[in-house]
Amino acid sequence: MPKTMFEKIWEAHEVRENLLYIDLHLVHEVTSPQAFEGLRMTGRKLRRPDKTVATADHNVPTDGTPTAAMIKDALSRKQVETLEKNAADFGVPVYSLGSETQGIVHVIGPELGLTQPGMTIVCGDSHTSTHGAFGALAFGIGTSEVEHVMATQTLLQNLPRTMRINYSGTLAEGVTSKDLILATIGKLGTSGMTGYVVEYAGEAIEALTMEQRMTVCNMTIEGGGKAGMIAPDETTFEYMRGKAGVPENFDDAVERWRQLPTDEGATFDTEVEIDASRISPMVTWGTTPGMVIQVTDTVPDPEQMDSPADREAAIRALQYMGLDAGTPMEEIRPERVFIGSCTNSRISDLREAAGAIKGRKVADSVRAMVVPGSALVKAQAEDEGLDRIFSEAGFEWRGAGCSMCLGMNPDTLFDGERCASTSNRNFEGRQGKGGRTHLVSPTMATAAAIEGHFVDIRNWS
């Protein structure tokens, strides 16, 4: 019987019905301390340290602080130090502050070659869906589940439903994979994928680079999806070749991975068709990622919305965002620009952003920062001279971490500040209390930084 890629991976990992074996457990400092504590209290061991890896990312200052002990914020310091101690006590490799391979957990997994096709990957972090770009089954879990994986290397799971989104056509010039996923969430809504493992497929997806595919899978959770996946292909294998953690017999592994893609005739619970050629550069206007429109549109009018729940949510969102219905998106003026996060902080994101600058300067009204996703990305960018391009244009060039994606570290918005951000969540207060977030692609963020307002990147020279 023809099978979906998801079914193949699921079946290969069933210890028994509803108990899934986990090949890789990624750990970070925020969602793990209570799980380690649970192991200690019950006297349990961490079953497979060799399938576990930890990094510090959420709390990390991006000002070059070299060690955990030097983090100024006492609570952040304690959390990172606790991670280091827990990792040492339980034998887990840890990339903390000062490590050459420290970085955002969803950036370092792929770049170290730990993320591979056909694997099951979990992490106490909802953006674990990112790793599905390699044809892995990867999803976020809560802290109780983190403890369960630590103790048993397995996870209790009910069979999720499956969805395939087929993108026909190709993306237009200036339109990125960030716009593709934002447009998808805009169409399906923030709970449109709830309960589903989603496979992204079609011509437009096949044409994407690995890093662009990661951006798509990353935001699956913003559509409510459990996991996002893309079939591995030559693009995947070429990206992985030579990375530290990949199998020694790489070519043999590639032969196995070629068996993973969904078979012809396999069925999904739901299929969705989207014409990729019609997608435009997107900007969010509200406080959920589903509140998104084309940059050429105007801020929507709540009164025009059919459902009372949508209307109320939109009224609240506009009030919070300080926007009036009918305002052209291109007239909105962010005071801050953030290029970073596990959605868009990889080397190609930074290359695209830097490439769009072309000798211009950040507008006087804007404070802009660029935060590489990992220490390796930072080093690579500096090798290529991207840091100088950014600095000369007036962008701040920072150290690796989650940074202003969630404002759990010193990088935050002030009350009422408006930000063009390449991250994934525009929730109230996400980037700092009272902060107003507009989600965009890296090139759209760069253009907004230079012009001082949003612009349609397609007409921007």
Residues 54-93 within binding reach of other proteins (CB under 8 A) = 58-59, 73, 75-76, 78-79, 82, 91-93
Give yes or no for residue 141 binding other proteins (CB under 8 A): yes
- The amino acid sitting at 203 is E
Residue 174 or 340 having the CB closest to ligand SF4: 340
Give yes or no for residue 405 binding ligand SF4 (CB under 6 A): yes
Would you put residue 139 in left (φ > 0), alpha (ψ -120 to 50) or beta? beta
Binding partner of residue 405 among ligand SF4, other proteins, none, CB cut-off 5 to 8 Å per kind = ligand SF4
Give yes or no for residue 154 binding other proteins (CB under 8 A): yes
Give yes or no for residue 99 binding other proteins (CB under 8 A): no
The contact pattern for ligand SF4, residues 313-342, with x = CB under 6 A and - = no contact, is ----------------------------xx
Pick the stretch among 47-55, 72-80, 317-325, 400-408 that binds ligand SF4 (CB under 6 A). Answer: 400-408
Measured distance CA(349)–CA(367) in Å, rounded: 19
Considering only 7, 23, 84, 125, the residue that binds ligand SF4 (CB under 6 A) is: 125
**By the 8 A CB rule, do 246 and 113 touch?**
yes
Binding partner of residue 414 among other proteins, ligand SF4, none, CB cut-off 5 to 8 Å per kind = none
Cα distances (angstroms) measured from residue 437 to each of 177, 215, 219, 291, 358: 19, 18, 16, 12, 26
Measured distance CA(161)–CA(398) in Å, rounded: 41
CB of 339 to ligand SF4, least distance (A): 12
Binding partner of residue 342 among other proteins, ligand SF4, none, CB cut-off 5 to 8 Å per kind = ligand SF4
Owner of token pair 């003026």: 333
Residue 346 or 367 having the CB closest to ligand SF4: 346
Binding partner of residue 410 among ligand SF4, other proteins, none, CB cut-off 5 to 8 Å per kind = none
Q: For residue 100, how many other CB atoms are within 10 A of its CB?
A: 10
Residue 230 or 406 having the CB closest to ligand SF4: 406
- The two tokens of residue 380 are 């690579």
**By the 8 A CB rule, do 435 and 419 touch?**
yes
The contact pattern for ligand SF4, residues 14-43, with x = CB under 6 A and - = no contact, is ------------------------------
Sequence-distant (≥ 6) Cβ neighbours of residue 355 within 8 angstroms: none
The contact pattern for other proteins, residues 14-33, with x = CB under 8 A and - = no contact, is -xx-xx-x-xx-----xx-x
Residue 369 or 450 having the CB closest to ligand SF4: 369
Q: In 3D, which of 321, 315, 302, 313 has the Cα closest to residue 420?
A: 321
Considering only 53, 254, 347, 353, the residue that binds other proteins (CB under 8 A) is: 53
Give yes or no for residue 402 binding ligand SF4 (CB under 6 A): yes
**By the 8 A CB rule, do 123 and 135 touch?**
no
Starting from the edge strand earliest in sequence, which strands make up the sheet with 154-156, in order?
Answer: 14-16, 19-21, 154-156
Residue 23 or 57 having the CB closest to ligand SF4: 57
DSSP secondary structure code for residue 329 in this structure: G
Measured distance CA(321)–CA(431) in Å, rounded: 13
CB of 56 to other proteins, least distance (A): 12
Binding partner of residue 452 among ligand SF4, other proteins, none, CB cut-off 5 to 8 Å per kind = none
Give the burial string for 213-233 (b: 16+ CB within 10 Å, else e): bbbbbbbbbbbbbbbbbbbbb
Name the site residues for ligand SF4 (rule: CB under 6 A): 57-58, 104, 106, 125, 127, 341-342, 402, 405-406, 423-424
